[in-house]
Amino acid sequence: MDNRDEVKAFLSSRRAKITPERAGLTNYNRNRRVPGLRRSEVADLAGVSVEYYAQLERGNLAGASDSVLDALARALHLDEAEQQHLTALARAAGSGSRPRRNAPVQQIRPSIARVLDLMTEIPAFVGNGRGDVLAANPLAQALYAPMFDDPKRPANHARFAFLNPCARDFWRDWERIATFTVAMLRTEAGRDPYDRALTDLVGELCTRSEEFRARWADHDVRLHSTGIKQFRHPVVGDLDLNFETMQVTADPGLVMTLLSAPAGSAAADALRLLASWAATRDQAPASPEPR
């Protein structure tokens, strides 16, 4: 994931998505051939020279000031996730060329593992920006049973979504989940473009999944903090769960995800049934009585 190529593709893809009408332009040629805005129009909206904007879109964000990045964000109508991604790309451009590196092994502290175990009524797990699940309580393991059935560890949301045929049944809204999953990986790539594990994962998915490869080429990014997940569990059936994510501030890069259902809802009943199933599944078979 070369930084200059990433910057070029991101800026040009955002420019192509903004119509002159959305940008507030009134005097423009209706018979234009280019999708979205021209470079000159973005430059005018951002208050920079055409030559300088062309330099930026060729991938050279090194040295771009915060005011320039803010102006670009306004001109291209970037949302919060896109603004953060642009800032991350600029930061990486300013750090010079660096080889890919193996990220340090992320450890779950005993106190975090204990917190997960104490959450007996809601699924909860801790993961990283690559979609690896590094720790999960029993109810989360039961909820995501099709993903954890794969013996490869750590379990990974992206690998499950695109490489496991069960995912399309498990996620009732697979298309949306797939798009969000790729956007989150793209966001992580902007934050840490030199993470070898991340680039290896992206390479594997691009090689093995046309669905992933097409979405990766869109250069979309997304923040994943709250919302609803729609499951079709092989044991308890359909359930919609709210999710919230929280940064584990003492462990940079780790995020705890909590899932819940409204009180008295069918999903809440399904979670209780799932907890009973999980407890039964995890019980070791009793030893036969000696004769």
For 51, the 3-state DSSP assignment is helix
61 residue type, one letter: L
Q: What is the pLDDT of residue 134?
A: 97
pLDDT at 288: 47
Note the Cα 41 to chain centre separation in Å.
Answer: 31
pLDDT of 21 reads 86
User: In the prediction, which pLDDT does 279 show?
Assistant: 86
* Count of CB atoms situated within 10 Å of the CB of 286: 6
**pLDDT the model gives residue 286:** 47
For the record, the structure tokens of 133 come out as: 């699940």
Cα(91)–Cα(231) distance, integer angstroms: 38
- Residue 118 burial class via C-beta count within 10 angstroms: exposed 0-12, middle 13-18, buried 19 and up: exposed
Looking at the predicted structure, is the pLDDT value of residue 181 above 80? yes
- CA–CA distances in Å: residue 21 to residues 24, 36, 80, 85, 278: 5, 10, 21, 25, 54
Q: What is the pLDDT averaged over residues 151-177?
A: 96
Domain definitions of the chain by residue range: 3-94, 110-282
pLDDT band at 149 (very low <50, low <70, confident <90, very high): very high
Q: Which residue has the higher pLDDT, 63 or 124?
A: 124
Average pLDDT over residues 141-170: 96
Q: Residue 28: is its pLDDT beyond 80?
A: no
Checking if the pLDDT of 3 tops 90, the result is no
Residue 171 is given by DSSP the state: B
For domain 3-94, the question of CATH label 1.10.260.40 is answered with yes
**Tokens at 238, concatenated:** 């359909």
Within its chain, how far is the Cα of 243 from the centroid?
14
Q: How confident is the model at residue 281 (pLDDT cuts 50, 70, 90)?
A: confident
Distance of CA 136 to the CA centre of its chain: 18
Q: For 15-21, which contacts have Cβ atoms below 8 Å and span 24 or more sequence positions?
A: 15/39, 15/42, 15/57, 15/76, 18/76, 18/77
Tell me what the mean pLDDT of segment 263-267 comes to.
95
Note the helical H segments in the chain: 3-17, 20-23, 39-46, 50-57, 66-75, 80-94, 110-118, 138-143, 145-148, 157-163, 167-170, 174-191, 196-208, 210-216, 266-282
H or E element that contains 246: strand 237-247
| pLDDT of 98 above 90 | no
Going by pLDDT thresholds of 50, 70 and 90, the confidence category of residue 25 is confident
Instruction: Say whether domain 110-282 belongs to CATH 3.30.450.180.
Output: yes
Write out pLDDT tens, residues 169-179: 999 999 999 99
Residue 48 and residue 253 in contact, taking contact as beta carbons nearer than 8 Å: no
Tokens 């005011």 belong to which residue?
A: 67
| pLDDT for 1 | 62
pTM for the complete prediction?
0.87
Q: How far apart are CA 3 and CA 118, in angstroms?
A: 43
Specify the pLDDT at position 96. Answer: 58
